[in-house]
Amino acid sequence: MELSHARAIVTGGASGLGAATVRHFRDCGAQVLILDLDEKGAETAAETGAGYLRCDVTDEESVASAISEAVETMGGVDICVNCAGIAIGERTLGREGPHRLDSFRRTIEINLIGSFNVLRLAAAQMSRNQREENGVIINTASIAAFDGQKGQAAYAASKAGIAGMTLPLARDLGGQGIRVCAIAPGIFSTPMLRGLPQEVQDSLAAEVTFPKRLGDPAEYARMAAFIVESGYLNGEVMRLDGALRGDGEPELCEVGCLGRLTSFAETGDGRYLISLQGVCRFRVVSEMGAKTPFRQCRIKSFIADLDMETGAAEIDRPALLKAFRAYLKANDLDADWESVSRAENAMLVNALSMMAPYGAAEKQALLEAPDLKTRAETLIAITEIALARDDEDFGSSLQ
């Protein structure tokens, strides 16, 4: 099907993947009607020259009148892209008790039943096109359909439903000249994810095999366009995820810290309290193919760490304390300045490095600093960057 002459409805088109699809389809010359609960859809529509209709995908009447509106304004429907969806995180048995049934039901209702509700009515309309190829339906699954994480029982079930119905839908609708595919995105940079702190986004991106970044919604949109224009593509669920797979071993950092177990206690409620005291750093030489539930490595230790004082005299203590003070002030915190003033340089740098509320990447950089002087300089630099970010109101990794 040629996108430039097509008439498309896009649910969830007010935001994220749906909005990117609206933009791309419009750029390619298609007519588009956005169906979304969020009135922000009107802005996306005005920006792109698409139409917008407030619509709840779970509601039969709301969708039926949206299809009528599509026929009235565009003359028919050739493409249906279902992007409306919600994502919740809730454990099956959490601290607050069992998973709420209403949140489970609502997730299935919007993500799965909502998509089906729209596509069944869109298909009825498409079948009136009376051409060899009457329509293309694209649903949005997720890699959670195959590899759901903790807290994703509802979301993964809804997305597995999308994936599971793709082939039967294609079989049901093939006779009417309608193709059905689903896209299973990995982690995309949509408003929801862009709201997370940068360090969380970075650590998500680090899990992607290649390229090591979050997906761009425009890439989803281009894939949707490719499905529309590839007439032989049918009944298929396509991952779009940079080969992100949850089953691989996470990469190990090269440098770690050896700790001595100094206390071990069992609490009454079945938890263990374990204290480790850092001894010295080590470098991973090689990983052994162990069959234990934990990983085993050959390591080489940093013997120089045993002498805490190496390089301590060269530390710019006033600069370090200045950064520390600025950080405390920016975060409305205070410190026991008497203890701070008594602390030796080495103790001060290491304690601050451990306490500093930075992300894993920053902590690793502090751990890997070759000597105390460099660690102090790194700590000052990271603190200054975080404070500058705070000033510019970019959100802060200090929180």
Ligand X SMILES: NC(=O)c1ccc[n+]([C@@H]2O[C@H](COP(=O)([O-])OP(=O)(O)OC[C@H]3O[C@@H](n4cnc5c(N)ncnc54)[C@H](O)[C@@H]3O)[C@@H](O)[C@H]2O)c1
The only residue of 8, 37, 67, 221 in contact with ligand X, by rule CB under 6 A: 37
Q: Which residue, 99 or 106, has its beta carbon nearer to ligand X?
A: 106
- Spatial separation of the C-alpha atoms in residues 30 and 26, rounded to whole Å: 5
Closest to 204 (Cα-Cα) out of 359, 364, 390: 359
Closest to 302 (Cα-Cα) out of 256, 357, 360, 233: 256
Q: Which residue, 144 or 348, has its beta carbon nearer to ligand X?
A: 144
Contact present, 126 and 178 (Cβ < 8 Å): yes
Among positions 16-35, residues that touch ligand X (CB under 6 A) are 16-18
Phi/psi at 226 (nearest 5 deg)? -65, -40
Q: Which residue, 190 or 396, has its beta carbon nearer to ligand X?
A: 190
Cβ 100 to ligand X shortest distance, Å: 18
What mask of x and - would describe binding to ligand X in positions 97 to 126, judged by CB under 6 A?
-------------xx--x------------
Closest to 188 (Cα-Cα) out of 204, 210, 206: 204
The only residue of 3, 52, 85, 208 in contact with ligand X, by rule CB under 6 A: 85
H helical segments located in 148-197: 153-174, 191-194
Q: Which residue, 58 or 134, has its beta carbon nearer to ligand X?
A: 58
Interior/surface letters 282-321, b for 16+ CB within 10 angstroms, e for the rest: beeeeeeeeeeeeeeeeeeebeebeeeeebbeebeeeebb
Cβ 98 to ligand X shortest distance, Å: 23
Stretch that binds ligand X, among 12-20, 129-137, 205-213, 332-340 (CB under 6 A): 12-20
Cβ 37 to ligand X shortest distance, Å: 4
What mask of x and - would describe binding to ligand X in positions 153 to 192, judged by CB under 6 A?
--------------------------------x-xx-xxx
Cβ 32 to ligand X shortest distance, Å: 15
Cβ 253 to ligand X shortest distance, Å: 26
Taking the mean position of all CA atoms in its chain, how far away is CA 49?
29
Taking the mean position of all CA atoms in its chain, how far away is CA 290?
31
Number of residues that bind ligand X (CB under 6 A): 31
For the chain, what percentages of helix, strand and coil (3-state, to nearest 5) are there?
45, 20, 35
Separation in Å, CA 47 to CA 7, 28, 37, 50, 260: 18, 15, 18, 8, 60
Q: Does 225 bind ligand X (CB under 6 A)?
A: no
DSSP 227-255: HHH-TT--S-EEEESTT--TTSPPPPPSE
Q: Does 51 bind ligand X (CB under 6 A)?
A: no
Q: Does 48 bind ligand X (CB under 6 A)?
A: no
The only residue of 71, 86, 258, 343 in contact with ligand X, by rule CB under 6 A: 86
Task: Identify the active-site residue in 52, 155, 327, 358.
Answer: 155
Cβ 148 to ligand X shortest distance, Å: 11
Active site residue 155: yes
The only residue of 42, 64, 87, 113 in contact with ligand X, by rule CB under 6 A: 87
Q: Which residue, 135 or 148, has its beta carbon nearer to ligand X?
A: 148
- Spatial separation of the C-alpha atoms in residues 53 and 41, rounded to whole Å: 8
Tokens of residue 10, six digits: 């896009």
Q: Which residue, 62 or 127, has its beta carbon nearer to ligand X?
A: 62
What mask of x and - would describe binding to ligand X in positions 53 to 82, judged by CB under 6 A?
--xxxx------------------------
Among positions 293-332, residues that touch ligand X (CB under 6 A) are none
Burial of 86 (0-12, 13-18, 19+ CB in 10 A): middle
Extended beta strands in the chain, E state: 7-11, 31-36, 51-54, 79-82, 93-94, 97-98, 135-140, 178-185, 237-240, 255-266, 272-288, 296-301
Which residues are marked as active site?
155
Sites of contact with ligand X (CB under 6 A):
11-12, 14-18, 36-38, 55-58, 83-87, 110-111, 114, 140, 142, 185, 187-188, 190-193
